[in-house]
Structure formats: structure tokens, C-alpha cells
Structure 1
Amino acid sequence: MWPFEGFLFVHVTTGAVGLLLFWIPVLGKKGSPTHRKFGEWYARLMLVTASMAIGMASTTLLSPIVTHPKQVALNWPQSRIEGIFGWMMLYLAIMTIHLVWHGIATIRNKKNHPANRHWANVSLNVFTIFAALVCAYRGWLINETLMMGFSLVGIASGLTNLWFIYTPEPSRIAYQLEHIKSIVGSGISVYTAFMAFGFVRLNPGNALNPKMWAIPLGVGLVIIIYQQTRLRLAFRRPRSAPAGATSKA
């Protein structure tokens, strides 16, 4: 039990701080020193948070009864504990790492697009799709609709990332669009986990309430659509001529 509690402590600590910092780059001026500084800290904290979630999921799969006594008291079958707190948490953690990684890579490689095809970057997207398929399969085995439905997010994310990576010449706006999609998507993933799995501690019987999963997804999609729309409008807006420039007859 102590490894699980250790992973949980670090997971909650770094995750809580990271999700507070999330709003600074999201709401602040894009490209500013503040945006970059807090965005980097957010990314680092999310990578640690997701890594701890992998540890929690792994210890759950090794010993589901010991690590989740509240669910045992509620007569949850072992297969369901393994499915929700093992396979699904593992998938969400991998997807979070993949989203943060892609969000960072798209900005760092905007002047060198072939660098996005590094084997580690491509493998992480493929691995995320695989983890999503495993989550869906495990959900099908225990008839858990939530696991099957949420796996579609990882499949779609992995496929669209690979589409961008292997696009020969993305438009100059594509890098920022991918960055917004991935970084806000990582926030959706972690907020979802915190609201759903965290709710287990307060009210275990309602841990899988669809409303707890829908709120972060809805808010995150609104942010992505709004920020991407603003960016597209900014790129379409004609740039003013330099001061002092004169037209030639």
C-alpha cells in the first residue's frame, strides 16, 4: 500500500499546482515571457503528475484489493477496480504525457518540421493509440461504457497528431493550432482525472458519474475552439504597413 500512497501524494501535489498554473498561459497574452515561463512549469508538473499516475495504475493492477479498500467495501468486483483504476488510469496517464510532449514539440520544431518525426515522438503517438485500444478492450470485457467511450479521445488524438507530423509542409499557423489543442487537451485529461478519481475519496459511490467526466471536457473544448478561432482571425487580419512607409507611384 505504501508505494501507492507515495505515488498518490506526489500526483496530487504536482497535479494541483500544475492545474492552477494552467490558467496563467491559457488566459494570458500568448507568446509573452509570462506565457512561456508558466507554460514550461505547467508542462513539467504535468509530466511528473502523469508519471505518478502510471505508478498508481501499476500498483493497482498488482494489488487492486489492497490499494482500493473503499471500492471493496462497496462490493466492487476486482475486475472493475482493475479496469477503472488500473487500465483506464494507465491510459489517461499515457495520453497526458503524449499531449504535453506534442504540445511542446510543435512549438520547438516550428522551424524544423522534420524534427517532429523523431522516433520517440512518433512512437509516443502510436503507444497512445495502443493504450486507448487496450482500455476499450478492457472496458468491453467488463461492460464499462465509460472506458470504451473515453478511449476514442486517445485514438483521435494520436491519429490527428500523426497526420500533422507527416504533413509535408504544414501552414505556419498549424504549429500554434496543434500547440493549443495538445496543451489544453492535457489540461482536460488531468482535470477529468482529478474530478473523477479524486471524487472517489469524497463519494466513492459516484466516482463514475458521467457529469464529473463531462465538465472538464466541455470547458476544455470551449477553450480550444475559442483560442483557435482567435488565432485564425489574427492571421487573417491584414498587417498594417510599417510607420513612415510611402507608396510608390
Structure 2
Amino acid sequence: MTAYQMLVAVHVLVGVVALVTFWTAGLLRKGTPAHRTTGRVYLLAMVGIVLTGAPMAAVRWIDGHTVTAAFLAYLVVITSTGVWVSWRAVRDKSAPGRFVGPVYVALGALSLAAGAGVLALGIRSGAPLLMGFSAVGLFTGVDMLRRRLRRATFAKTPRWWMTQHYTAMIGNGIATHIAFLGIGLPRLLPWANGTALHYLAWFGPLAVAIVAKAILDRRWKPRPAAEPRASVPRTQGA
């Protein structure tokens, strides 16, 4: 087994751990010790994915597989961002100013640049999937940088940390499932590979994530307070 094959094997192993613990943490009651412990294991597994995915992207680039390398590098960027945000949102819930500090800004700018790069690559290579998937990095980057600019208002938002945490975890789930469905599953089940699975791998997790985000926002995201209704002055003699 070559060094690259060993790297891929470790990447796949931690990917399986991430996939299992993602759903385990998601199904457990939020805030319980079991949920927190499983969530930590998931984030550690995601760190392992980043640490093994970066050199894999470099090797693919050296081998001349530029599209594959760009896709892997892009996943590394958005995964790193999601892992950091989901972790720091909980750790910094009493210090929102620290949360949107230099690291947050750097990751937001990197996500925006990576999304723009994948969009350009998709246009250049005529790959609609790359063009569509670039929206994740573009949206994430713009949203993070805008939040930094509006940090004074953001700091006063109730339960801001919870919204940031589950949004980032949903983003992590997108990366986890795309990697599994698009890269891992075709190798495990070659007979299942095909155009349908290819599109499902890219856009299936994204569609599910949008629905999950809407449901969680409906339950947890603070709503603006309703303005008090102006009282109608009573006319004399009424």
C-alpha cells in the first residue's frame, strides 16, 4: 500500500466516523451530555477529514487532476469553516465580539474566494455542478463578512450562538454527505454509480440542508418583536 493509499484509507475511516456521529448527535436531545460528547467526536472526525483531505487535494493537483483537486480543496475550505464556526459559537456564546474576530473574518474571506474560484472553474470547464455548488462558499463568505460588519447588532441577537452552531453543523453535514455519496459510495458499490447518483450526491444533501435549516429556524431563530399597536384616541363624548 502506497503512502497515498494509506492517506485515503485514513480519510475514509474518519469519514465513516463523521457520518455516524453526525446523525447520532443530530437525533439526540440537544444540550444533553450524550449530544455534546457525540458532537465533539464528530468535530474531531471532521478535523481528521480536513487534515487528510488537504494533502489529497495537493496530490491530485500534482497529478494533473485539476478539477478533482479544486473540488477537494473547496471541501476542505468550507469544512474547516463549518467546524470552526460550530465549535466557537458554543465556546464564545458569552462573547460574540470575540466570535466574529480575525479568524472568523479570515475564514469568511477564504470561503468567498474559494466559492468564486469554483464558480470560475465551473464556467471554464462547462461543469454546471461546480457552478451550482459554488453557491455554498459564496453565500457563506458573504454572510460571515456581513455579520462582521454588523457585529454590534449581531451581539444583541438572542440565542445567536445556537443559530450559528446548527447552521454550521448543517453545512458540515452537506460536506460529509457529498463526500460519501459522490466519492465513497461509488467505490463501495460500483454498480450503483451513474448519472442519477452523481446528481443526487451533489444536490441531494444541499436540498435536505435547506429544508432542515428552515425547520430549525422556525423553531429556534429569534423573531423580531411585534411593534406595539398605536392606541386610537377617544373623541370627546364618545
Match of residue 48 from structure 1: 48
Aligned positions, number? 219
In 2: Cα distance, 1:195 partner to 1:24 partner: 19
Q: State how far apart, in whole Å, the 2-side matches of 1:146 and 1:3 are.
A: 31
Q: 1:232: Cα distance to partner?
A: 4.1
1:57 is displaced (CA, Å) by 1.2
Written as runs of structure 1 = structure 2, the 5 A alignment for 1:1-249 is 2-64=2-64, 81-83=65-67, 85-166=68-149, 167-170=151-154, 171-201=157-187, 202=190, 206=195, 209-232=198-221
Q: Structure 1: which 5+ residue stretches go unaligned?
A: 65-80, 237-249
Q: Distance in 2 between matches of 1:152 and 1:24?
A: 28
Instruction: Report which stretch shifted further, 40-49 or 209-218.
Output: 209-218
**Structure 2 CA distance, aligned partners of 1:207 and 1:94?**
27
**TM-score for both structures, normalised by structure 2:** 0.83
Q: Is contact 1:3-1:59 (8 Å) kept?
A: no
Which sits farther off after the overlay, 151-160 or 200-209? 200-209
1:224 to partner: Cα distance: 2.2
Q: Please report how far the alpha carbon of residue 208 of structure 1 lies from its aligned counterpart in structure 2 after TM superposition.
A: 7.3
Amino acid at match of 2:163: L
Is the contact made by 2:18 and 2:176 (CA closer than 8 Å) also made in structure 1? no
What's the TM-score once normalised by structure 1's chain length?
Answer: 0.80
Report the RMSD for the aligned CA atoms in angstroms: 2.4
Q: 1:140, CA displacement in angstroms?
A: 1.8
Note if contact 1:126-1:158 (Cα within 8 Å) is conserved in structure 2. Answer: yes
Q: Deviations over 1:174-226 (max 9, x none)?
A: 22111111111111111111101224422566497212222222222222222
1:163 to partner: Cα distance:
2.5
Q: Deviations over 1:66-102 (max 9, x none)?
A: xxxxxxxxxxxxxxx421x110111012101101111
Q: CA separation of 1:232/1:141 partners in 2, compared to 1, >3 Å: closer, same or farther?
A: closer
For the residue of structure 2 that corresponds to 1:168, the secondary structure is helix
The percentage of counterpart residues that share the same residue type is 26
Stretch moving more, 116-125 or 181-190: 116-125
1:112 and 1:218 map into 2 onto residues whose CA distance is 33
Question: Structure 1, residues 30-82: CA drift from partner, whole Å, max 9, x if none?
Answer: 11111111111111111111221221111001014xxxxxxxxxxxxxxxx42
